[in-house]
Amino acid sequence: MMSDLKTARYKRIINQIEPLLEPVHDVLARMATINAVLYHKMQDFYWVGFYLLQKEMLIVGPYQGPLACLMLEKYKGVCWTSIQQKKTVVVNDVNEFPGHIACDPRSKSEIAVPFSGKDGNIIGVLDIDSRKKSCFDNTDAFFLEKIASLICK
């Protein structure tokens, strides 16, 4: 998707999500709502969901899309990398990423966006897969970080 088009779409999505989340501060309700909006508005998003840190494990949270791994092997793959590096990881071709965990072989590119709780500690990661290679770029990273930051506001 062209960057301008993508930017405009993310702006519309954020304008939709913010008032939806406003009355409810429950973290699961907010994650579920974000998933539904992203999954249905972004046509190339094949899997949208959350992995949450629980006792130093990454366990799947709310998601939309095909069945995913319930738990991610420690310190392996894209999600764990984003948590360890404390920053968004964009993967143009998952087959080129050492240790990538393939929950669904149809996924070709991926973005993982870690997010924090109110105390500033990372509590999980927003993970999105696409069936297209190189689906995600800096524009996605910028807006998805904004969206993920809404979860614990």
**Applying CB under 6 A, which residues contact ligand SME?**
47, 68-69, 72, 77-79, 100-101, 103, 107, 110, 127, 129
Minimum CB separation of residue 39 from ligand SME in Å reads 13
Minimum CB separation of residue 82 from ligand SME in Å reads 8
11 vs 40 by CB, closer to ligand SME: 40
What type of residue is 63?
Y
37 vs 77 by CB, closer to ligand SME: 77
Helix or strand run (H / E) with residue 30:
helix 27-41
Under 8 Å CB-to-CB from 84, ≥6 apart: which residues? 75
33 vs 35 by CB, closer to ligand SME: 35
CA distances from 61 to 11, 29, 50, 96, 116 (A): 25, 11, 5, 26, 15
Chain centroid to CA 29: 16
Minimum CB separation of residue 101 from ligand SME in Å reads 4
